[in-house]
Amino acid sequence: MIKTLNKLFVTMLGIGKIPKIPGTIGSLITVVTLYIFFHILNLSSNIILIILIIVFIFSFPAVALHIKNNENKDPKEVIIDEFIGQSIPIYLYEISHGTEKSHEESLIFYTVCFVLFRFFDIAKPFPVSYFDKNFKNSFGVIMDDVCAGFYVVLFLICLMVLRSYFI
């Protein structure tokens, strides 16, 4: 029972078992879920933060248990790390902009975050590649996506700074 629940958690309710591009689909479902949380259900950002922190903390032992007897220490079906990494730029966008954004603006930003996150997660610039190559455990599985999420934030901040010089 515990093993089954754990598998459902790390595969995001079995989505990770999809044979083609499970990480991309997991990231897309994360974007849609967060949009629903923030813009349709209007959940408090504090409640969403608590959910994200719980998922983050629980993901380390959950992924460790899932990969324990697995030769592949970063199997494609484990996509909870995509949920965590993809959530970082979207959550930070939402709390930094408060209620001063339109749904259209949010959709555009969510789309940009999705594309950038997938780019950094696939391209694996340093330190994303460092965690991916050097930590063959739950820490490496999760932290490479956390780094990719922060790369999205850094990229967008740099873009805003550059934009301020030209506008």
The answer, yes or no, to whether residue 90 has pLDDT greater than 90, is: yes
**Which positions ≥6 away from 32 have C-beta within 8 Å?**
none
Rounded CA separation 43/34 (Å) = 10
Rounded CA separation 105/117 (Å) = 18
CB 30 within 8 A of CB 101: no
Strand, coil or helix: 165: helix
Delimit the domains of the chain by residue range: 2-10+21-162
CB 121 within 8 A of CB 128: yes
| pLDDT at site 152 | 97
* Residue 42, number of CB atoms within 10 A of its CB: 9
The answer, yes or no, to whether residue 150 has pLDDT greater than 90, is: yes
Rounded CA separation 126/135 (Å) = 14
pLDDT (tens digit per residue) in 40-81? 999 999 999 999 999 999 999 999 999 988 877 788 999 999
CB 85 within 8 A of CB 117: yes
Residue type, position 7, single letter: K
Report the mean per-residue pLDDT for the chain.
93
| Token pair 């903390």: residue | 57
